[in-house]
Amino acid sequence: MSGGSGTRLWPASRGHCPKQFLPLVNETTMIQDTAARLAGLGSLAEPLVICNESHRFLVAEQFRAEGYKPSGIILEPAGRNTAPAVALAALHAVKDGNDPLLLVLAADHVIQDHEIFHRAVDQARLAAVAGGLVTFGIVPAHPETGYGYIKAGEGEVSREVKAFVEKPDRATAQSYLDAGCYFWNSGMFLFRASVYLEELQKFQPEVLNACRQALASEHPDLDFIRLDEEAFKQSPDISIDYAVMEKTDRAVMVPLDAGWSDVGSWSSLWDVSPKDAAGNVCRGDVLTHEVSDSYLSSTDRLVAAVGVDSLVVVETADALLVAAKDRVQDVKAIVSQLKQQQ
């Protein structure tokens, strides 16, 4: 799934080139890293990418550059969130009478330990073959309100999901953290295509109908799979979490402790990046003197900082961000102001 806009990573992440297409953590981009972490996983077909049609050449070129071949690139004429994006993948997968397992991944996550990730996927296969909608659960570190929370029941490897709550408010998130039996939803899933489609039919039939019609006139053009625009736009705009995961009784959770991060903001990028002795992440042409715990990045000019602590400075050709590291969630307020000005 490569449809997010990554607004909190402005000014690096932009509408025409959102974060999944940027080399934010190392020298390769996040979507390239997503494809790379599949190497070594058994019984896997080539990845199917679902993205906005305006990003088709970015996807094709970034796959080609690293020698990856997608099995297809489904082009959405508009963003309708992840429930329809996954429905398109599932409908495409079952069209020749097949019913494969779908490993649903976000194109913009970091996973540090590939071996542990592979082990979790292999463990999840058993539950998915048995008809479960498997989500990978992360031990929560703080009362994040931007994530889904899973109340996990008993089980050694795959655990029963007693409740799934998408994006609770701060007080609820804190109570989940205190309770101890809750995990974050990583936003990665494994299930049989038909099982997802059945649950979508039950809870959001409008999404399924719109996607079915949009794919009815599916016409391949090289690797690109184009949709009927009018039909697809009829789909409600809803995430898989609200549409299916909160409602289904077929959810199962496999815990994952592999250094996962969705790098939603500059501070979470700081968290997962290699740092110097003073705790600074410096990317590009950057000089520091008595600077600590900061994220400093430059693409076009030399950036120099003196005597500051816990600061984020991101320089690009046409914009410069300076923010306190504990306030970077609010970068999206700047993006809203920019949108209003346009």
166 binds ligand GDD (CB under 6 A): yes
The answer to the question of residue 33 lying near ligand GDD (CB under 6 A) is: no
Site membership for ligand GDD, residue 4 (CB under 6 A): yes
Q: Which is nearer to ligand GDD, 50 or 296 (CB)?
A: 50
Q: How far apart are CA 68 and CA 73, in angstroms?
A: 13
| Count of positions on this chain that bind ligand GDD (CB under 6 A) | 26
Which residues, listed in sequence order, are joined to residue 50 by a DSSP beta bridge? 74
Q: Which residues pair with 148 in a beta bridge?
A: 166
By the rule CB under 6 A, 53 interacts with ligand GDD: no
Q: Which of 54, 57, 52, 66 is nearest to 1 (CA)?
A: 52
Q: Looking at residues 237 to 276 of the shown chain, list those that interact with Mg ion (rule: CB under 5 A).
A: 262
Nearer to ligand GDD by C-beta: 212 or 284?
212
Token representation of residue 35:
């494809």
- d(C-alpha 174, C-alpha 145), whole Å: 9
DSSP letter assigned to residue 45: P
Question: CA 159 → CA 101, 123, 133, 151, 276, distances in Å?
Answer: 19, 11, 11, 10, 39
Helix, strand or coil, per DSSP, at residue 201: helix
- When CB distances to ligand GDD are compared, the closest residue is 3
Find the shortest distance in angstroms from Cβ 192 to Mg ion. Answer: 24
Is residue 148 a contact residue for ligand GDD (CB under 6 A)? Answer: yes
Name the strands in the sheet holding 219-221, side by side, starting at the edge strand that comes first in the sequence: 48-52, 72-76, 224-226, 219-221
How is residue 218 written in tokens? 């599916």
Which is closer to ligand GDD, CB of 107 or CB of 328?
107
| Shortest reach from residue 33's CB to ligand GDD, in Å | 12
Work out whether 134 is an interface residue with ligand GDD (CB under 6 A): no
Binding site for ligand GDD (CB under 6 A): 1-4, 20, 50-51, 76, 79-82, 85, 106-108, 146-148, 166, 184-187, 241, 262
